[in-house]
Each structure stands twice: as structure tokens, then as C-alpha cells.
Structure 1
Amino acid sequence: MKKILLASVFSLTVFSSFAQEYLLKGQVLSSVSNTKLSSATIFVETLNDSTLLNYTITDSSGNFELLVKTKEDKARLNVSFTGMQPFVKTIPLSDSTTNLGIVKLQELTNDLDEVLINVNRSPITIKKDTLEFNAASFKTRPDANLEETLKQLPGVEVDAAGNITVNGKPVQRILVNGKEFFGNDPKIATKNLPKEIINKIQVVDTKTQSQEFTGEEGDSENKTINITIDEDKNRGYFSRATIGGGTDDRYEISGISNYFQDDLRLSVLASSNNINSSGFTFDEVFDAMGRRARTITRSGGSFGINGLNFGNNTGITKSETAGMSFVNEWKEIYDLSADYFFGSNKTDTRNSARRENILPDRTFFSNSESNATRDNNSHRGNVNFSIKPDTLTRISIRPSINISQGTTQSSNLSESLDENGNLINTSESENRNDNLSMNFSNRFSVTRKFGSRGAFLSFTFDNENNKSESDNFFFSGRETFGDNPNTQIQDQLISEENNEDTYEVQSRYRAVMTDDLFLDVRYSYEIESSKNERSVFDFDENTSLYSNFNAELSNEFKVKGETHIPSVGLRYEGDKLRTGFNLGLLNTQLRTENLIQNIEFNNDFNNLFASANLRYEFERSKRIGVYYRNSNNIPSIQQLQPVSIQTDPLNIIRGNPDLKPSFNQDININFNNFDFKTRSGYGFYMSYSYVTDQVVSVSVTDEDLIRRTTYDNVSGAQNANLNFYYSKQLKSENEDTYRLRGNISGQYTKNLGFTNGQQFESENYVVSPYLGVTYEKEQVITLNPGFGLDYNLRNFNLNSNRDEEFTNLNFSLEATTYWPKNVVFGNDITYFKYGNVAADFRSTSLQWNMSLGYQFADDDATLKFKVFDLLDENIGTRRQTGDDFVQDTDQLILERYFMLSFTYKFSKFGGKDPNSRRRF
């Protein structure tokens, strides 16, 4: 072993002694107009096997500097620019600095098929609105997936949860050859698409289908990644199946299969597990188990795929899912994509909570224990069909349906104590809720272009129809103590039906005033209607039936809101500056009707509608954007309905039919810059929102510590965010890669409300710095240490003595080794420390996930031994601060288990491997 290490060190030393650095300089111009070509791609490769040595792009003056490390005395220089013939030249490498002078590119003609092949091999190409990477230019392991490839791209970051950002902007969609890959979950594509079929990776601003057709500017705040596959490679299939079993009866079974045939693509998947996983976001090291435990338990809420809910992250979920996707195109006229998903889950939760409630003149405490089991089955189907009868017309229809049916059984015990620890009340409740919900939505759109200069007329009709039904068998007992002790029992059947329908019509006409100036005329009409029927029946002991109708707690209520927005605007789209605005009327009509009491409320509200945006591009990879928009939100039927909801015996809620719509104003500013020469990027994002007539809670807590809540409008709520990020990539002489990434974010939130007759304000400040480093030695080891903290400060004007100030911190280390050959050893370690948690709650945790895998059968088969939470320290302790409370909770979570799994991959494609290097 010692001899092998000495030989390796000697070989590395010998190689380093021969490798030398050469600095190449030059300027790229157009031969026709002598125009300086900004963002032209420069790359250098070896002569014998076309290995990429380095690449860069030109600056705004067409200049470039490129540092090359090699032991060769000659190399091939490549220069390419969209619309120009590529420049290829063999250059000598003798002097440490070589000035190549001016490189002039000729205009591209149609008879240069052979040269066009070379254009496709540029590591990076920057077009007007597209950043394009050649997958073959970025080294990865032979069996890498799309996610591993994305991690190699400059400016692209993939976090431990699989979320993707490009130059600080989140990626919302992954497309394959311009079509959605298995619905709208990007992680299905990133975790499952093998690199061997990937040709180009294109990053564009997210656009609607209409914007893609008309060529309009997209949403620069969100990115879409489009994966292109070589035409001869777009025939074949690839599949993957995993089965695993472990301690505590933990298991995972999953499979996904994809078939490609030119424009046709068929995908199927299925999964079953009880390890809190959707089953399809395969991690190359940990499979469906995932990496960090904190990605499962750090925050509450549910996880899901394509709109299907698979349970609450803080419980333990058994999920079973299946689905299929179909995509095809006929004669470039008809385009169809359709998918169907089925999901079944059973989630067990347990929660222990301690809450300190803050009132203007005192505080009180409540303790609770709750348990719940939820069974749910879901079906979701989507269709996207479009017709292009000619090159100027596009018609599309996009229906979607979602059906969910389930049962929830839960129980709760709670007690309330005054600030001296005296028991004031106790309560217990049990319920069984059977529910059915159905959702249907559709978008129909027609777009007609006029000429090629950007004029068009569009019409869009959207509808969304929701219906839910539930039968809740509810029992509760509440006992109050003190001078007037009282016991109250509720034994009821609560039947509820809720219908919500939304219809929206939008029309838009764009006229061309000059080559860069456009006139937009728009009209939008939206109607929202809701109807809630709530029938409460008390239990009749004589008949043992729920037959006594409770008129006080029952109601039938309707809400109807109409919004008209006529507007006119101008749009300027230059090479560097893009800006525009729209002004109009925002008219809202709100109608509420109490059908039982025969009472109506009618109100009209008028505001100035305004939206504006500005984007200035200093260079192709350096831009700033400013966006403003206002909007309104109609209160929910639950906030408007004047009926008491008593399913929590200690918190009774009643709506207010006099509520107004809230009026929101939002402004966003963002700046980003990525220097391909230094492989470094930085930027910032700022947002601010102000709400007028926000719907807030109005609560009164009596001496028995029973809270009654309704709603009112108040102005002044605010939310502000600031995020600054930086990233840099370095390569050492022996090709080791180092990536530095850091960001610091801040958030300010101001919430308003009323409690016991006094208006309160709660202000929350959060500052979160993070620093991460990646070290990668190809085919040997990858290390990802990271450190982050969250500083929290919350001020309560109700009681300044209860202001909260604490810091949460975490340190993480992802370590994956690929040595010896065919062995993959993964370790993911995260240390948490939660600040200011109650003394008898655990505040620290060291979580360690481990995976040891062996690949065989030409790397198609993998046997893995995995451990979740090796040290058995995963905790469900959390502190939550609200507008008028501080709460500590301890929840049921997934604990340590060991698992052995087997994965097999099989694939077959036509054509050559698009990632193999071609000789010229």
C-alpha cells in the first residue's frame, strides 16, 4: 500500500513538473463591421484527443484572457459567436504570455455543415436570452445523472434538497427537448436523467407557452432549464429499479422507466415506502432516503410531487404512488403531453406543545398533547394539447383534474394555566373526519401573430372549480375552574360542503410602434364565487343519532367577487435596456349573502392599477432589474362567514361579512453578475411589500382563558427581504476543483392584529449568513462542508418583557468517496443547535446519514448498506414565535434505521454517445 501511495505521489509530481501555465490574450471582432463581439466563446483543447483545457468569454470590448495549464507545446484555439463562422487555429505554446491579436469572425452561411459541428462543441454559448452549456465539456463520473452534471456548471448551484439556482435565480421547471418531463417536479428529471443522453443544457427565463410563441420577455426572476438530446440519441429507453428493507420494518420499493422515439416519450413510475419519501427523487448515494435529516424534519408542512400530498414532514408516512407521462408531436402542428398520478399515504403524527400566550395585561400558559392518523388517496391528471394550424396561430387547451379522498382520526388533551401556574381550564377532544375534495382547472388560449415584428392578439380563458365535502364526528369536553366552575360537552356531526369557482377572461393586443417600442392594450375580468353550507347536528341520547339540528352553529353563506382591470401600457425592448409600464383601473366588487338570515352586503372598491419593470444589461452576464406591481386579495369565505366554529373548544372563531379586500403593493430589485473569466459570480435580491386593509385576527380572551376570534381590516403590514450571494470556482494544477459559495439574507416582517381590545404589532428580524465549500478530486472524493446560522429577534409591543432574541446554527459535512473502484461511500453529517428552547427540551442534535455502495455488472447494479440517523439523535424539538405567543413543540419524527438495498439500471440508445469527444 505504501508503494502505491509513493508511486501516486511520484506520478503527480512528475506530471506537475511538466505542466506549465500559458496566458492567451486577444480581441474578437466582426469582419463585416469591425464590431466588438461581447460574450464570444473562447476555448482551448488538446490536439490528440480534444480534451478541454479551459474556456472563457469576451468582455464588452471583445477582449479576452485565458489561462491554460498543459504539458503540450501546441493546442487548438476555438472562437465562436452566434451567427458567425467559428474560428479554429492551432497555436504554439512557448511563451508564458501570448498575444493573439485581433480575431475576426465571418458571417455564418448555410453550407458550413462541417464547421457547424464544431460550433456545437463550445463549452458555453451566450445568446440573447439563453445560456447554453455543452454537457460533454464538463467532467463527471461515467454514471452521473443530470443533477451531478448541473453541479459542474459555472453559476449553477444545487443544494442538499435538490433545489437549483442559476446565478442566484431559482429554477422552476425542467424541460426535455422543450417538453415537460413527467409533470412539473424538476427533481424527477434531475435525479433520473442520465448524463449519457444529454447534449445541451440551456438556461432561459421562465416563460408561459404564449410568451414562447410570441417571443416576449419571460420572468427573469425564475429560470427554466431545457435539456436537449441529439436526434440520433433520442431513440431508446432507460430504467431504474430499487428495492430495500431495513430495521423497524422500514422499506423502499421504487422504479422509473422512460422510452424515447423521436418526438414520442413515454414514462412510467411506481413507488412504495415508509421512510417519508416521495420515492422518485433518487439520490445517487442515498437513494430515496435522501441526504440530510433536516430536509425532512426541519420545517413543518407536507411534501409532495406534482400537487399530490404525501403527508406531514414531522410525522411518519407510508406512501404508495404510481404515475405515467406521455408526450408526442405530429407534423409540427399537433403537440400533446399528458400525465396521471396516483398517491396513497398514511401519516401518523404526535405533538407535544407548550405555549406562552401574551395579552396586554398578563400572560398565560397552555400545554397540549395531540395524536392524529391520516389516510388519503389522490388522483391527478393533466393534459396539454396545442395546435399550430399555421406559423402565425397557436391554439392550446390545458385541463387538469385532482381528486382526493381521506379520513383523519385525531385526539387532543390540553390545559391552561395563569401566570402563577394555577389551573384555569382543561379540554379534551376526539374526532373522525371523512373528506372528499375535487378540483378541475383549465386554460384555453388563442394567439395570433401579425407579421414578424412582434405584433399579436391573444385571448385566454381560465377556470378553476373546487368542491369539498366532509363529515366530522366531533366530541369535546371543556372544564373551567375558579369561582364559577363549568363543564361543557359537544357531541356533534358537522357536515360541510364548500364550492369555490373562479373564471377569468384576459385579452391583449400588442402593436408595433417602432422596431423597439410596443403599445399594449389589455383587459382582464375575473369572477370568484364561493358557497359554504355548514350543518351541525347534536347527538340525541334518546335515539342515539345525530338528529338535533343546531341552528346557532349552522349556516349557508355565499361570497362573490368581481375584478375588472382595463389597462394600457408601453414596452421598450432594446439591446441593453428593456422597460415598460401598464396603468389602468382596478375595480373590485364584493357581494356576500347570508342565505339563512337573508342578509346581503354589497361593496365596490376602486384603485389605480399599476405595474412597471426595468431591466438593464451592462453585459451579457451582468444585469439589474426593478419590478413593481399592485394587486388585491378577496377575503376567504371562512373569514367572511358569520358563524361560530367551535372545533377547538378553547378557541372559537367567527367570520366578519363586513371585510374589505386587501390591497398589496410589491417592489423587487435584483442584480446579478457572473464573470466566466474568473468563474466567480455575485448578486443581490431585494423585495418589499406593503398591505392596505389586510385581514387580521381580532381576539378576546376571557378570565376562563377561552379565546374568541373574529377578523377585521387594518393597514400597515410590511415584509422586506434582502439576499446577497457570492460564488467562485478554482482549479488546481492537478485538476482538483474548489468551489466557494456564500450568502447572507435578511428578513423583516411586521404583523398587526388585535387582542383584548388593543392593537398589537409584532416585528420579526431574521439574519441568516451561510458559507459553503466544495472540494472535488475527480473519481476520488467530494467534500461539501457548510456552516449557517439564523439570528432571530422578535419584538412584541403587547409586552416588551417577552421580546425574543435567539440564534439557531448548523454545521454540515457531505463526504462522498469513489475509491477503491466500484465502491461509493457517502457520509452526511449535520449538527444543529436551536437557541432559546425550553430547558427540558433537547436543543442540540448531531445527525449522521451513511451509505456504503458497491457497483458491479458494468456499473448497472448497486448493492448498498444505508443508515439513517446513525447516532440516533434526530429530534423533533422546535421553537415557534407568533404575533402574540411563544411555543415549544416536540413532535413524532423518523428515528434511526438500517437498510440494505439493491438498485439496477438498464438502458439502450441509438446513435453515438453525444458526450464522447470528437476529433477534428
Structure 2
Amino acid sequence: MKKVIIGTVLLLTTTLSVFSQTKNITVAGRVIEDDTKEPAVQATVQLLSLPDSAFAAGIATTQQGYFTLPKVQAGKYVLKVSYIGFQPTMLPLQLSAQTPNKNVGTLSLKTDAVMLAEAVVTAEAPQVQVVEDTLVYNSTAYRTPEGAMLEELVKKLPGAEIDDDGNVKINGKDLKKIMVDGKEFFGGDVKTGLKNLPVEMIDKLKTYDKQSDLARITGIDDGEEETVLDLTVKKGMNRGWFGNADAAVGTEDRYAARLNVNHFVDKTQVTLIGSTNNVNNQGFSGGGGGPRWRRNNGLNAPKELGISFATEKKKIELGGSAQYNYNDADIANVNSSERFLQNGNSYSNSNSLNRNKNSTFRADFRLEWKPDSMTNIIFRPNFSYGKTDNASSSLTGTFNADPFSLVANPNDYLDFDAISTGDPLKDIRVNATNSGTLSDSKSVSTDATLQINRKLNDKGRNITFRGRFGYGDNDNNQYTESMTRYYQIPTNPDSTLIRNQYITTPTNDYNYSAQITYSEPIARATFLQFSYQFQYKYSESDKTTYDLYKINPEWGLGEPLPVGYQNHAVDSLGKYAEYRYYNHDASVSLRFIREKYQLSAGMSFQPQSSKLSYKKGDYMIDTTRSVFNFAPNIDFRYRFSKVSQLRFNYRGRTGQPSMENLLPIVDNSNPLNIRVGNPGLKPSFTHSMRLFYNTYNAELQRGIMTHASFSATQNSISNSTEYNEETGGRTTTPKNINGNWSAFGMFGFNTALKNKKYTINSFSNINYQNNVAYLYNQENKADDKNTTTGLTLSERLNGSYRNDWFEFGLNGSISYTSERNKLRPDNNQEPYTFSYGANTQLMAPWNMTFTTNIANQSRRGYTDASMNRNELIWNAQLSQTFLKGAATVSFEVYDILKQQSNISRSLTADGRSVSEYNGINSYCMVHFIYRLNIFGGKSAREGNRGGFGGPGGPGGRPGGFGGGRRF
């Protein structure tokens, strides 16, 4: 009996010992910055076992500062938390199997006093820092004019680019969303954020790749990652009321007004915006901020009113916005284009006038609810309504030789009245069209996404449901009158085609999808993930064209529709289409998470089916198309250190031709652009690869960023174009083609010099485009494959000096392009642009600030001589701040020398074009800016006194992130 008892005790002891060694204990908590109480994003959390301090588990905190470490066994540990610019925190832990879920609560990190002291001596903040895969820009390192909006600051960031349409790239990646303190600002809309967020409220700007809701919760890569710009509000401004009111009048009948009011309390944000201007929708944000190379494509007068909110409680996060926009655009365009043909080229010129009035209302909402620690629910509904009223007129002409060889300005000879009084282009003229159009439309759309995630255990097993629904309804009405004359038809050299039409096109569509994902832990920090999604889309359109010329040849635009027009529908110009799309998407992936690296690799299988019911005149068809696609994906991240990482990803995507392109029908709605379908089209497949590396040296304030990408498409859909020499029209047929690919490389470098008052940043690009297209050979009546290549090399270099009252900068850039055309080498050219300039800001002791910049941009190497020109652009601003920093009056002058043009250029494998738009570039404005700050902290009030945007700038107290901390 004694032996049995002893054996039982030994067995029980052994069992308990084995059980105690099982890894079934989790450690969770949250990390915040002690002074700001903001979450410490991507802070490093490590669990070290005692007594040898061996690494047991580790993870980085989320965007809200939370962390949950992988499971470990019972024992004695030290929890170590590290974060750049803060003192490391060490917390002893005794983990016991009796407490499987250990929550350490909220850990506050104190500022590193040594780094602070060093920064106060140098009085300069680093421009860029790296935290894991997040780039952090310090707003106080970039001075902007008084009253500047976020757009002015983004222009100064190393590696940032803003194109003519306001789209932003940062380090070669498209910016998709703008957030404030981790919360979406007006649904993340980039243009709204650029034009309505004042620089003076911004402390830090963080850019990173934000995962989708599904990937963030489940870890399953769905390819919907977005590059975002996350703004941190300055210390003290995140509690109370603050904002800006800005009103301005100027020469050339220019005006601008803006209101931004914010109410921040703890985790709650409310923002009200309103604006109106006629400075071409550029989000007028203070003069002297930099030469404006963005072209003014027309005269725009936008108006905007909106409200955005976000709040966060222990278990629920809410956010949303409502926004109304109206824009009145007056656009005049002068265009000349050249279409490459196998034998000779075709030339076209056009003049157009457009008056477009658009109004939209949109609303979005976001709810994230965590009813318990194992469940997460996200709901996102959206709604939008739009209305447009457009009027346009155009004069076009096509020629079989270069009209510029005969007259200085062929666009003066496009109106029929000008042609009839004397035509120097008669011998080369193919056709001419004079037309006018009125159109109006109304559209309603709504969609919603519901995602429910349930953790099945603490080891990573979870299941997720995501459902989506969308609906859209659009009614479009178009009234046109046009006259086209043909000059090269032998039997009738001066034939005329007149079309007066009323076209109505109601369309509606809806779609829904349901997706189930499942993640199964199969080993330590290793997961097998499954996903299945079913998607259905439906759309219906019914285009009806009525011939008004037959009823009343004298009918003109703006007049009521003739009586009985309903009986004159033209079957050959109308069409009805009903489209149904079914898609199944099954994917499997394997995910590894290790201390130094993460790897996710998988494959997606997609059987698809499409059904189209189509009617055009007497032609009716019901057709079905079924295809099977598969797409691989891989995402690899290697972490050399906290400030250095390498990332590589590959994704394959399939693309389906539209069902209408697959039908062997002729669409002659536009007699000069006839389209014919091709039932033999194949799906396209695009390979995309991207490599990204960054590193940062905090002591030297030196950062390096590299980005390389490659994209190639198999079975691209191109157009075979048959040119009609008699009419000047073209008949296009979609066809598959191989050979389209592109490669991109970027190297960014920024550093502070020894005393930190001098900074240098460089941004180098290389881009290669291989574009293929078909050129129709008139002699053998067949397509020839043409290849156009473009190699672009560019460099931007900036250097600046800065002290407490003065800043001076030099900048230069050069971009060289080598364009080659395989079949038409006479079209080869090597254009290049270069620019150089200087900018300065001077702050006088009596709160007066002078800002100016001047830059020369030159274009060379274009075969079109009008493109080879210099533009010397000079902007300036003089501002006076008073009422203890609460008010500012500024006088601003743009394009003082009146040299900026509004010319844009495009090149493709089958042609090139040059367009010039109307616009007002040179004018003066007087601004009055008032800053609102009620119930805010003392630091917020002090932040409004700084002459260059708050704490850390001259006139404010020394300090950087949050006023008083320098990294």
C-alpha cells in the first residue's frame, strides 16, 4: 500500500511538472507615452526568462498600443518594453499556470532625458525617423507659411509627390487614406485631409501600410493593404476646442474662405469643415510654400461643408462623416495630337469649352465592437448621392499631314465659318466636326460591410464571417447636336453628316458577397489559414437614342424636345444589356511569425461565370462565359533591428475582359470611333512584385529608404485600330497582346550634418516602361506590333540651413527620358526637364514673417518646339501675427513674373498629345486668419504662438514632438 501511495505521488508530481511546462499562459497589456497619454505604436515588447534573460516571446504593439504575447510556460520573467525616444521599462513577472491570462495593465513610458537634453542643445528635430515599417516625419522640421494646410507640409516631405490631380505618392506608393490619431478623417479621403487640416495642429506624420479590417483581425493577407498618412495632434490640442477661420480676397476676382473647428476630448474627436474658393481647387493654403508646378486645368469654384467624428470606449469604437461638395468648373482646352500609323501619321486638333456643375453628398459610418475578449464585430455602411449638369462645345479636325507645317496655329481653322472663308489646310484636311452637348445625371449608391470574428482559443484559432452589399442607380440624359464634314471621299468630297440626338441611359446595379475565413495554429507561431468567398454582381443598362433631326431639322440645344420624339428611337444606336457575374474564391495560405521575420504564402483559386443578355437593333444574344483562374501571393518581412527592415511581396491578379468586348457586334454611335467586339479575348494576368528596405540612425539623424517594383501583364487587352483615310475615322477591335511591363526603383537619403542645423535629402528615381500596341498596316491589311519604351531617370536634391529666426534652402531636380518607337523611329526623342531654385523664411522679432521662393523650370529635347521653354516662378508672402498669436494678416503674391503655363503632355505606344488649359496663375491675395482655442491646455495656447506652426518653431517654446521633446 505504501508503494502504491509513493508511486501515485510521483506520478502526480511528474504530471504536474509536465503540465507546468505546457505553454498555455498569455501576457497582455497596453503601452502609452507618459507625457501625451497617446498609444505607443509599434513599441517592442519582449518577455525574457530568468535567470539568463533568454528571449521567450516578443511582439510589437498595435496602432492603439495593445499587445498580446504568444503563449509561454509558467516561470519567472522580465517584461521589457522599448520605444525610440523613451526610457526602456522593465517589469518582473511571476507567471503561474493558475493564471493563464496575465494582464499587466497600462505601462507608461517616460521620455529619454538624455536624448531630450541633447536635442534642446541642438534645437533641431530630425526630419525622418523609422519605427519598424513606419516612417515618422516631425512637422516642426519643415517650416511652412502662416495659415498653411497639410498639402503644403506634405510637399516638403522627402519622397513625397503630388501630381496635377492632387494624388499623393510617398516613397513610390500611392497614399490611400489620411487619419488623425489613428482614426479615419472623413472616411480617410486624401484630398479632403490635404485641403482642410491646418499644419499648426500637427505634431508627427506617420506613414505605413495599413492592413484591411480582415487582415488586421485575422492575419490573413487579402491584398487590400493601404498606404496611409496618420497625423498625431500636438500635445494640449487634443483636449478642448481649437480651429482656424481664414478669409481672403485678391486680384483677378480671386477669393477664398475656410473654416476648421475641432473638438477633442480624450478619445473623442469632432471636426467641422467648410470652404469656398475660386483659386482652382488647390486648397489655398498660404503663399510662398513652394513653386506650384501643378497645372491649373480650368477655372474651378468648389464649395465644401462637412462634419467628421470618432470616439472610442472600452469595448466600442465609433466613427463617421457627412460631407457636401459642389464644384463649378469652367474649362477651355486646346489640344493637338498625333496618332502613329505604319505608313505616315494621322494628326488631330481640337478646341473645347466645358461648363460642368457637380454636387455630391456622401456619408460613411464605422463601428467596431468588442463585446468580450474573444469577439470582434465591425460594421461599415456608406451612402452617396450625386447630381451633374454639364454643357460643352467642341471643334475638331483631322489631317493626313502635320498642320503645323502649313500654319502657325491650326486650331484657328476648326470652326466651319473659318474654314469657309479661306482654308490654308484644305489639301491635308480629312474631316471636321462642330458639336455641342448638354447632359444631366442623378446617381444614388449605398453599400455596407459586416465582419464578425470569433477567437476559438488563445492560441490563434479563429473564424471570421464578412458580408458585403452594394446598390447603385443612375439616370443620365444627353442632348447633342453635331455636324461632321468629310473632305477625302472621292465620290462626294464634301459630304456632311448631321446628328441631333437625345440619349437616355438609365442604369442600376447591385452586388453582394459572403466570405468565411478560418485560421488554425499548427505549430509555435505558425498558422494554416483558409478562406472561401462567393460574390455576385448584377447590372442593367438601357441606352435609347432618339433622332431629333428627322422630326425638326431646326431643333437646337436648350430647346424643348419636339413633340412625338418617343416614336423616333434609332435601334442601331441604342442597346440593352443585362449582366450577371458569379465568382467563387477559395484560398489557402501558410503564415509564420518569428522574432526576426514573418512569412505568409498562399494560393487563390477562382472559378468564375458571367452571363450577358444583350440587344442592339435586330441583334439579340444570351451568352455565358466560364473561366478558372488561380493567383499566388507571398509576403515576407525581415526585421534586422527596430529601425531597419526588409519587405518583399508578390501577388498575381487576373483580369477579365468586359462581356460587351466579347460580343461580335459593331457600335457606331460615334462615326469617327467605331468599336467592334472580339469573342476570342482571353483573360489577362498581372504579376506584381515589390521590394522595400529602410533603415535609420537616430544619433546621426540619417535615414535610407529604397523601393523597387516590377509589374508584367500577360494577355493585356489592347486595341487594333484600322484607320479610314477617307473619313479620318477609326475602327477599333480589342485584342490580346503580350509585352507590357514596367520596372521602378527609388533611393531616398536624408541626413542632418554635424551641428544639426544643416540638412540634406536626396530622392533618386529610375522608371522603365515597355508599352506595346497594334499599328494597322494599310498595305497588307494586318496588324503590326509596335513597342514604345520610355526610360526615365530623375534626381531631386534639397539642402537647408536653419536657426531660430532664419531658414534658407536650395533645391534642384533633373529628369531625363529616353523615348523609343520601334516601328516609327522618326518619333524618337529624348526630352528632359531640370529645375533649380531657392527659398527662405525670415522671422522678425515683432512677429512678422517673410517667406519667398523662386525656381526656374526648363524643358528641352521635345520635337514639339512649343514644349521647349523656361518657366521662372516666384512666389512671396509677408505676414503679421498679433493678438498674442491668435490672429494673422498676410499678403501673398503668386507667379510674380507671370511665366507659369498650363500645358500637359502624354505619350502611349500608338500616339502622343499636348493639351493647354485656361487658368489664372498670377494674382495677389490678402488673408485674415484667426485661430480658435477654447478650454485647451496651456501647451495648446502656446502652440498657437509659434511663427512656424506651433511648439518647436521660432517664437514658440523649444521642443519637437509635442513641444519639449526631441528625438
Shift of 1:317: 0.3
State whether structure 2 residue 699 is matched by structure 1 residue 677.
yes
Per-residue CA deviation, residues 791-843 of structure 1 (Å, 9 max, x unaligned), is: 22333334222233322333343332223541222223332223315235663
Q: Does 1:294 align with 2:314?
A: no
Matched, 1:502 2:511: yes
Kindly report which structure 2 residues correspond to 1:795-874, keeping only aligned pairs within 5 A, or say none: 795-835=820-860, 836=862, 838-840=864-866, 843-874=869-900
- Larger RCO (CA within 8 A; separation ≥ 6): 2
SS of residue paired to 1:277: coil
* 2:411 paired residue number: none
Q: Name 2:548's counterpart in structure 1.
A: 539
- Equivalent in the alignment of 2:815: 790
Distance 2:604 2:281 in 1: 47
Match of 1:706 in 2: 728
Q: 2:278 aligns with which of 271, 274, 281?
A: 274
Counterpart CA distance in 2 for 1:855 and 1:240 is: 14
- Within the candidate set 251, 254, 260, 1:256 is matched to 260
In structure 2, the CA distance between the partners of 1:528 and 1:670, relative to structure 1 (3 Å rule), is same
**8 A contact 1:83–1:108 mirrored in 2:** no
Identify which of 247, 250, 261 aligns with 2:251: 247
Tell me the alpha carbon deviations over residues 441-468 of structure 1, each in whole angstroms, 9 at most, x when there is no partner.
Answer: 2211111123333222111112333332
Asked if 1:565 corresponds to 2:579, the answer is no
Distance 1:132 1:634 in 2: 37
Q: Give the aligned partner of residue 618 of structure 1.
A: 640
Paired with 2:873 and 2:452, the residues of 1 have a C-alpha distance of: 53
Aligned twin of 2:952:
none
- 8 Å Cα contact 1:203/1:223 also seen in 2: yes
How has the CA–CA distance of structure 1 residues 372 and 655 changed in structure 2, closer, same or farther, with 3 Å as cutoff? farther
| Equivalence map 1:420-435=2 (5 Å) | 422-435=428-441
Which shows bigger deviation, 723-732 or 190-199?
190-199
Task: Tell whether 2:598 aligns with 1:578.
Answer: yes
Pairwise CA distance, 1:324 = 0.7
CA distance change for structure 1 residues 541 and 146 in 2, over 3 Å: closer, same or farther?
closer
For residues 381-428 of structure 1, what are the alpha-carbon distances to aligned partners after superposition, in whole Å with 9 as ceiling and x for unaligned?
111122221121111211112222111111111222223762222111
Aligned to 2:804: 779
Contact map agreement 2:705 2:749 (CA 8 A) in 1: no
Q: Which runs of 5 or more structure 2 residues have no equivalent in the other structure?
A: 1-47, 60-77, 94-102, 117-125, 403-426, 556-561, 941-961
Alpha-carbon distance in structure 1 between the residues aligned to 2:84 and 2:707: 37
How far has the Cα of 1:570 moved from its partner? 0.8
Contact kept? 1:651, 1:706, Cα under 8 Å: no
| Deviation readout 1:573-598 (Å, 9 max, x if unpaired) | 11112112112422222322214533
* Structure 1 counterpart of 2:675, from 648, 653, 657: 653
Match in the other structure for 2:400 = 418
Cα distance, 1:512 vs. partner?
Answer: 0.8
SS of the residue corresponding to residue 249 of structure 1 reads coil
Q: Greater CA deviation, 476-485 or 715-724?
A: 715-724
For normalisation by structure 2, the TM-score amounts to 0.76
CA distance in 1, matches of 2:198, 2:285: 13
- CA positional deviation for 1:790: 2.7
Q: CA deviation at 1:244?
A: 0.7
More strand by share: 1
Distance of 1:730 and 1:127 partners within structure 2: 15
* 8 Å Cα contact 2:653-2:686 kept in structure 1: yes
Contact 1:233 1:912 in 2 (8 A): no
* Aligned residue in 1 for 2:709: 687
Q: State the percentage of identical aligned residues.
A: 22
Q: CA deviation at 1:630?
A: 1.5
SS of the residue 1:439 aligns to: strand
Deviation at 1:670, TM superposition (A): 2.3
Distance between the aligned counterparts of 2:645 and 2:222, measured in 1?
Answer: 15
Letter in 1 for 2:857: F
Whether contact under 8 Å (1:496, 1:533) holds in the other structure is yes
Residues in 2 aligned to 1:900 and 1:404: alpha-carbon distance in whole angstroms: 34
Q: Is the 8 A contact 1:168 1:725 kept in 2?
A: no
Q: Distance in 2 between matches of 1:291 and 1:411?
A: 36
1:460 is paired with a residue whose SS is strand
Q: Distance in 2 between matches of 1:230 and 1:682?
A: 27
**Is the 8 Å Cα contact of residues 220 and 529 (structure 2) preserved in structure 1?**
no
Describe the shift of the 1:677–1:263 C-alpha distance in structure 2 as closer, same or farther (beyond 3 A): closer
Aligned residue for 1:326? Answer: 309
AA in 2 matched with 1:402: S
Rate the CA distance shift 1:763–1:620 in 2: closer, same or farther, 3 A. farther
Mapping of 1:162-177 within 5 angstroms?
A: 172-177=176-181
Give the drift of 1:525: 2.2
Partner of 1:744: 765
Using the TM superposition, name which of 527-536 and 214-223 deviates more. Answer: 214-223
Alpha-carbon contact 1:843-1:877 (below 8 Å) kept: no
Kept in 2, the 8 Å contact 1:132–1:200? The answer is no
User: Does structure 2 retain, via aligned residues, the 8 Å contact 1:86–1:105?
Assistant: no
Partner AA of 1:558 in structure 2: E
SS at match of 1:248: coil
CA gap of 1:662–1:114, structure 2 versus 1, over 3 A, is closer
Asked whether the equivalents of residues 527 and 590 of structure 2 are also in contact (C-alpha less than 8 Å), the reply is yes
Post-superposition Cα deviations, 1:501-523, rounded to whole Å, max 9, x if no partner, equal 33332221011112221000111
Which position in structure 1 is the counterpart of 2:210? 206
> Distance between the aligned counterparts of 2:838 and 2:328, measured in 1?
32
Q: What does 1:354-365 correspond to in 2, within 5 Å?
A: 354-365=336-347
Q: Find the partner of 1:404 among 380, 386, 397.
A: 386
Per the alignment, residue 555 of structure 1 pairs with 575
Q: Compared with structure 1, are the counterparts of its residues 721 and 909 closer, same or farther at alpha carbon in structure 2 (3 Å cutoff)?
A: farther
Deviation at 1:776, TM superposition (A): 3.6
Distance in 2, matches of 1:134 and 1:806, equals 34
Please state if 1:722 is matched with 2:744. yes
Distance 1:188 1:424, change over 3 A: closer
Q: Quick one: structure 1 residues 851 and 152, their matched pair in 2 at CA, closer, same or farther if it must change by over 3 Å?
A: closer
Q: After TM superposition, give the deviation of residue 359 of structure 1 in Å.
A: 1.2
- Residues 692 and 840 (structure 1 numbering): CA distance in 2 closer, same or farther, change over 3 Å? closer
Cα separation, partners in 2 of 1:560 and 1:752, compared to 1, 3 Å: farther
Specify the code of the residue in structure 2 equivalent to 1:893. Answer: G
Distance 2:224 2:674 in 1: 45
Give the Å deviation of 1:658: 5.4
Distance 1:798 1:273 in 2: 48
How is 1:366-377 mapped onto 2 (pairs within 5 angstroms)?
366-377=348-359
Task: Supply the RMSD in Å over aligned alpha carbons.
Answer: 4.1
User: By how many angstroms is 1:342 displaced?
Assistant: 0.8
Note the C-alpha offset of 1:493. 0.8
The residue matched to 1:552 in structure 2 has which SS? Answer: helix
Alignment size in residue pairs: 815
Letter in 1 for 2:648: V
AA at the equivalent of 1:802: N
Kept in 2: contact 1:502–1:528 (CA 8 A): yes
Q: Which shows bigger deviation, 722-731 or 811-820?
A: 811-820
User: 1 CA distance for matches of 2:345 and 2:891?
Assistant: 51
Distance apart, 1:251 and its partner CA = 0.4
Which letter maps to 2:325?
Answer: G
Structure 1 residue matching 2:939: 3-state secondary structure: coil
2:921 is aligned with 1:882: no
Amino acid paired to 2:307: M
CA distance in 2, matches of 1:818, 1:81: 48
Task: Return the letter of the residue paired with 2:297.
Answer: T
1:477 paired to 2:483: yes
**1:600 & 1:473 partners in 2: Cα distance?**
31
Letter in 1 for 2:314: E
Counterpart of 1:728, as a letter, is: N
Q: Tell me the residue number matched to 1:180.
A: 184
